[in-house]
Amino acid sequence: MAMTGSTPCSSMSNHTKERVTMTKVTLENFYSNLIAQHEEREMRQRKLEKVMEEEGLKDEEKRLRRSAHARKETEFLRLKRTRLGLEDFESLKVIGRGAFGEVRLVQKKDTGHVYAMKILRKADMLEKEQGT
């Protein structure tokens, strides 16, 4: 592809420019969320240390509380990485249908919580994406 303009970007199609912008925004969001989550973990750790200091706990009790806190943080991070699928939910009722799919009332099997789940047909989504 020859560069006809003054910058390399001028030779890119609008579609490519849009994809580049979307990728940039996605990466920026990902890393800003990562930093925010890290800061939240540090804040929780500082809060724990402050509470333990105010309570005047002995070193052994502080060590036990830090260990319990670390286990909770680890479990929380593990839960965040868990990917959910249809097999994790029981469908209760279809509550709506639309151009891309349907909305169902579902119940999460492990917790029993009830949610509305939008189920999209991938083939329809791809077809409509290519049409624009």
Asked whether residue 118 is marked as a ligand-binding residue, the answer is yes
Sign of CA dihedral 132, 122, 23, 38: positive
Instruction: Write the DSSP assignment of 55-100 as a string of letters.
Output: HT--HHHHHHHHHHHHHHHHHHHHHHHPPP-GGGEEEEEEEEE-SS
* Binding site feature residues for ATP: 118
Annotated binding site: 118
